[in-house]
Structure 1
Amino acid sequence: MARYTRRARFGAGIALAATAALALTGCATAADAAPGGDSDVDASSATSVTDFGTFADLEAAAKAEGQLNVIALPRDWANYGEILDLFAKKYPEITINEASPDVSSAEEIQAAETNKGLDTAPDVFDLGLTVTLQNTDTFAPYQVQTWDDIPAELKEKTGLFVGDYGGYMSIGYDSSKFDAPTSLDDLKSADYKGAVAINGDPTQAGAAFAAVGLATVQSDGTLDDFQPGIDFFSELQKAGNLLKVDVTTATVASGETPVVFDWDYLNAAHAQGDDGNKNWKVVVLDGTGYAGYYNQAINKDAPNPAAARLWQEFLYSDEVQNLWLKGGARPARMTAMTDAGTIDADLAAALPEVPAETVVPTEEQSTNAGTLLGEKWAAAVQ
């Protein structure tokens, strides 16, 4: 993440992509990283398309592999269903193997370790920041052709990991049962008995980690110490309001999880489609907001290394960046695409209003918070 601890101010959402930070200082260009084309290149060592020769050469190498293994990509998460289907349509020669869509970021890494050396290992990852920073030795560096459009704060300088899409931590709620919460204190009342859920375990899942971060800053704490956020959820647990159920669109539609802490784009998805909850609303609390991005990375032991790199090129294209935007998320290239006129302006204008003041954790803050959660979370909510 960017190395700052002050509270950063954001505009109407577009500026988030330029300043919400995920990566280490500095950036290199794709040309700096790539020694030049070679038709006999080992795809697992390629650091840019130049190593393959041309983009067509990369496509040919990926088609020759014929497979792409993805993991932890729910189809209702940031519009991944449409994105996966578009790749399949564009490259029918490549079979997409979608494994374990609902596992956590930590479980993605575990799957890579368990399946190392097998053709079932994941080729690519989509990870929360804490898990990303803990596992950089698992990744292969790669810089996509649109590398220069990605803000330096959203990428590790060699391309080990790169921010892909982001948003704001929010509260989704069934408006047929509750009024819009205006503060965390609202959720402590008896009206919310057995009603408040978070998306996963904050020691493993990025969205749940961010929920504790939001509770921290909304409780007048700082990202230097997540204890106020842990205390908030402990109070919810003691009041009988914390609901320990894995959140899905089905649990939202059925009313099993009527109030949910999650990223704004994920909460918004629960109201969409024939199976969605039409009474579902989303609020980003006033005061200090909490923003974050997920990260793309290539498994250094990917069984299909060319397909993994083609997938990255695909994800950072204008077309797919706009598909993430269609899913309510803010794509990494949003600022550059806005300047170039390639962003879908209607979708950008439809993004929810964001707080005037927003924070994102630095690398050190994220690491320290992960350690604290590992020590304190289980006991706090038991």
Structure 2
Amino acid sequence: MRKAALVAGVLALTGTLAACSSGAAEPGTGDEGSTVDAATATSAADFGGIDGLVEAAKQEGELNVVALPEDWANYGKIIAGFEDKYGITVNSASPNASSAEEIQAAENLKGQDTAPDVFDLGAAVALTNTDKFAAYQVENWDDIPAENKEASGLWVNNYSGIMSLGYDSDKLQEPAKLDDLLGADYKGAVALNGDPTQAGAAFAAVGWLSALNGGGVDDFGPGVDFAQKLRDAGNFLTLDPTPATIASGETPAVLDWSFNNIAAAADKPSWETTVIPGAVYVSFYNEAINKDAPNPAAARLWQEWIFSDEVQALYLEANAVPVRIDALTESGAVDEKLVEQATFGTDSDDWVSPDQAQVDAANALLTERWAAVVK
């Protein structure tokens, strides 16, 4: 399961993304034959319209993505759909890399033709790396709430999950309350999807534990305290969960994004997903263009694709909540049953999510205290 890292990763991706050198990107050509510098284009209008952007992207012929596993939020179908619709080859590297490793890959491969063209990032990494992004506003810009985008288009929220508990119903009872996870039935069973000082899913899990324990997004202390209680009870499992460990039964209870937990049931029929009563933790991922993208027109066309009705509906199909959910619901473009399923019957009034200052404070606390929990 892909993790959105919150601090710089240690893995340099030069081994998996080895490349030959490349010169500056060639300008695209708009639909009226005018030369367009795709690397500085801020909307499809700069190409003379969407048809001009498509033409310029097809001339490049390729798109480089990183950290997009096929079983994460429907990215398998999203990538295949882009290739089928536009005839552009998508080179998908290191699908299980973290957000921080996406940024590291861009730094390591800058100026080479296999550098990432686009990013899919957790909030903390996105907000601390805006100097690496190119501003772009998609045609559906007005459908995206102001709070879900940087004003110029440096980053735009694309989808979110809801923090949940996945569990093997053949071995475990559904918890009625959070403290049930401290019981003997959950001995050696409860895992987080990664290290919360590195991974967005695990960071959110601690935030959710905190909110359920009377804390909040501005104080992760109660979440760390509860994780320590899990450890003291012998219920905290330090094994990093994957679809394989879930299927084999090695990680029988996992705190993770709802779309990951629900997807795990495909290989583990007894796997159930629940949202423990109380606060509902959400956090959007972010779409951004690498300002040094080797395929700048394709990168911008990918943005248009991501925020299209088709792809936003594909996120929802995978139980992720697309950022344009209100516009899609209003237009009737999505099945309301899927909305109910993806949100577990909650709405934005029930949701909690930290802002940048709160993320920074939580990161500082986790850096100071998490090692003691897992030692």
Q: Shorter-chain-normalised TM-score: which range?
A: 0.7 to 0.9
For the 8 Å contact 2:218–2:358, the answer to whether it is kept is yes
Provide the C-alpha distance between the structure 2 equivalents of 1:311 and 1:374, rounded to a whole number of angstroms.
35
Provide the C-alpha distance between the structure 2 equivalents of 1:295 and 1:199, rounded to a whole number of angstroms.
19
Question: Is 1:304 aligned with 2:299?
Answer: no
Question: Is 1:78 aligned with 2:70?
Answer: no
Which residue identity does 1:365 align to in structure 2? Q
Corresponding residue for residue 59 of structure 2: 64
- Identify the match of residue 365 of structure 2 among 346, 359, 372: 372
- Identify the match of residue 362 of structure 1 among 355, 359, 368: 355
- Identify the match of residue 338 of structure 1 among 323, 329, 349: 329
| Runs ≥4 residues deviating over 6 A | none
For the 8 Å contact 1:105–1:204, the answer to whether it is kept is no
The runs of 5 or more residues in structure 2 that have no matched partner are: 1-31
Q: Which moved more, 1:48-57 or 1:228-237?
A: 228-237
1:347, distance to aligned residue in structure 2 (A): 2.3
> If the length of structure 1 is used for normalisation, what is the TM-score?
0.86
Corresponding residue for residue 188 of structure 1: 182
1:79, distance to aligned residue in structure 2 (A): 1.0
SS of the aligned residue for 1:380 comes to helix
- Identify the match of residue 157 of structure 1 among 141, 147, 151: 151
1:357 to 1:55, Cα distance in 2 relative to 1, 3 A: closer
Which residue identity does 1:95 align to in structure 2? T
Q: RCO greater where, 1 or 2, for CA within 8 Å and sep 6 or more?
A: 1
- Identify the match of residue 115 of structure 1 among 95, 109, 112: 109
Matches within 5 A, 1:19-98: 39-92=34-87, 94-98=88-92
Task: Please report the RMSD computed on the Cα atoms of aligned residues, expressed in angstroms.
Answer: 1.6
Q: Which moved more, 1:205-214 or 1:355-364?
A: 355-364
Q: Which moved more, 1:281-290 or 1:184-193?
A: 184-193
Question: Is 1:148 aligned with 2:139?
Answer: no
1:348, distance to aligned residue in structure 2 (A): 2.4
Corresponding residue for residue 283 of structure 1: 274
For the 8 Å contact 1:131–1:204, the answer to whether it is kept is no
Which residue identity does 2:239 align to in structure 1? V
Provide the C-alpha distance between the structure 1 equivalents of 2:51 and 2:265, rounded to a whole number of angstroms.
40
Provide the C-alpha distance between the structure 2 equivalents of 1:180 and 1:123, rounded to a whole number of angstroms.
42
How many residues are aligned here? 342
1:346 to 1:226, Cα distance in 2 relative to 1, 3 A: closer
Q: Which moved more, 1:183-192 or 1:249-258?
A: 183-192
For the 8 Å contact 1:270–1:280, the answer to whether it is kept is yes
Provide the C-alpha distance between the structure 1 equivalents of 2:34 and 2:196, rounded to a whole number of angstroms.
45
For the 8 Å contact 2:238–2:374, the answer to whether it is kept is no
1:155 to 1:38, Cα distance in 2 relative to 1, 3 A: farther
1:184, distance to aligned residue in structure 2 (A): 2.3
Which residue identity does 2:215 align to in structure 1? G
The runs of 5 or more residues in structure 1 that have no matched partner are: 1-36
1:120, distance to aligned residue in structure 2 (A): 1.6
Provide the C-alpha distance between the structure 1 equivalents of 2:75 and 2:200, rounded to a whole number of angstroms.
17
Which residue identity does 1:354 align to in structure 2? T
Provide the C-alpha distance between the structure 1 equivalents of 2:246 and 2:270, rounded to a whole number of angstroms.
10
Provide the C-alpha distance between the structure 2 equivalents of 1:38 and 1:264, rounded to a whole number of angstroms.
47
Provide the C-alpha distance between the structure 1 equivalents of 2:369 and 2:130, rounded to a whole number of angstroms.
25
Provide the C-alpha distance between the structure 2 equivalents of 1:52 and 1:118, rounded to a whole number of angstroms.
24
Provide the C-alpha distance between the structure 1 equivalents of 2:136 and 2:374, rounded to a whole number of angstroms.
40
Corresponding residue for residue 127 of structure 1: 121
Question: Is 1:201 aligned with 2:195?
Answer: yes
Which residue identity does 1:78 align to in structure 2? A
Provide the C-alpha distance between the structure 2 equivalents of 1:165 and 1:327, rounded to a whole number of angstroms.
11
Deviation string 1:124-171 (CA, Å, 9 cap, x unpaired) is 111111111111111111110000001111111111111111121100
Which residue identity does 1:255 align to in structure 2? G
SS of the aligned residue for 1:350 comes to helix
Corresponding residue for residue 231 of structure 1: 225
Question: Is 1:245 aligned with 2:239?
Answer: yes
> If the length of structure 2 is used for normalisation, what is the TM-score?
0.88
Deviation string 1:157-197 (CA, Å, 9 cap, x unpaired) is 11111111112110000000001012221112232222111
Provide the C-alpha distance between the structure 1 equivalents of 2:118 and 2:162, rounded to a whole number of angstroms.
24
SS of the aligned residue for 1:295 comes to strand
Q: Which moved more, 1:294-303 or 1:361-370?
A: 361-370
